[in-house]
Amino acid sequence: MLAAAMAFYSMGFVVGRAIRDEVPPLGLMFWRGALACLLLLVFVYPQIKAQFPILLRHWRLFTLLAITQSILGQAVMFTALHTTTAINVSLLQMTQPVFILFFAAWLLGDRITTKQGFGALFAMFGVVVTIARGDIDILLALQFVPGDLLIQFGTLSWAIYSTMVKRTPSGLNPLVLFFGITFVGAIVLLPLYLIETFYLGLPVPLSWSAVGAISYVATINGIVALTFVNIGIIYLGPARAGSFYYLIPIFASFMAIFLLGEVFQLFHAIGIALVTFGVYLASQKARIV
């Protein structure tokens, strides 16, 4: 589930980059949340109705999760895609599993094992090899723009979300969990979306590309991916689940090969092998002596 979620997130960044000049970021995120909530109400209304009192009792936690995931996480990242490049996004997101390890140890008291530490190093090195295409000069030539700061801020916020979602009540249906987070996020986004539309003059156009982008980020990138991530974090814990975020740049490389016709090269194989081995090590459960 976690590996599939990372593939869906990678495609989401491709979609966000592709329609950046047509669909404003806050409008994209608001309608993503609104459409996702509407679909969930249609298909899982009985579960939402039965467990809605649980959402109300833990409204502070769900507000925190909504702000760190929908507002300061994804909305910030989609905004950054207007100014930064895909390679910079991939590079900067390498810090997310490290942030998750730190927050899991600090906020939840999780112990970072030696195997997890080595796994994170292997995975990070594999991502560097893939991004640099096996050439250190490419890394040295990278230039960062203001959007990169937004990506780093969004990565930090997402790491907090990935840590705190572990504290959601046990027994809560994963789709109800997603509904609670997304519903609160849409409410918080509404005034920002109205400012973007009427004050800044950036409405969401009624076009096939806009409808397609919103539909993807609401369903596959939204409901499916985030539900998979939530399940993974609940069962594996934030630290072990966080290691899977190293897969995003690898999936992004495959998508570039498939969608843009780039050639599969030796550095791809080396990077993928290192990341796969690193994720395997980092996702292992610590032995109890």
pLDDT at 289: 38
**26 vs 34: CA distance, rounded Å:** 12
Q: Give 94-98's long-range contacts (Cβ < 8 A, gap of 24+).
A: 94/124, 94/127, 94/128, 94/246, 94/249, 95/152, 95/155, 96/155, 96/158, 96/159, 96/162, 96/242, 96/245, 97/123, 97/242, 97/243, 97/245, 97/246, 97/282, 98/124
Count other Cβ atoms within 10 Å, centred on residue 288: 4
Q: What pLDDT score was predicted for residue 187?
A: 92
Average pLDDT over residues 169-183: 88
Helix/strand/coil for 24: coil
Residue with the larger pLDDT of the pair 111 and 235: 235
**pLDDT above 70: percentage of residues in the chain:** 77
CA–CA distance, 151 with 72 (Å, rounded to integer): 10
Does residue 284 carry a pLDDT above 70?
A: no
Q: Hey, which of 146-160, 189-203, 227-241, 243-257 has the most confident mean pLDDT? A: 189-203
Q: How many CB atoms lie within 10 A of CB 214?
A: 24
DSSP-assigned states of every residue in 64-130: HHHIIIIIIIIIHHHHHTTTS-HHHHHHHTTHHHHHHHHHHHHHS-PPPPHHHHHHHHHHHHHHHHH
Answer with the residue of higher pLDDT: 192 or 119: 192
- Amino acid in position 62: F
Residue 23 φ/ψ, nearest 5 degrees = -115, 120
- Per DSSP, 198 falls in state I
Higher pLDDT, residue 143 or 239: 239
157 has pLDDT over 80: yes
Q: Which one has a higher pLDDT value, 137 or 208?
A: 208
| Average pLDDT of the segment spanning 118-136 | 68
Distance CA 248, CA 94 (A): 9
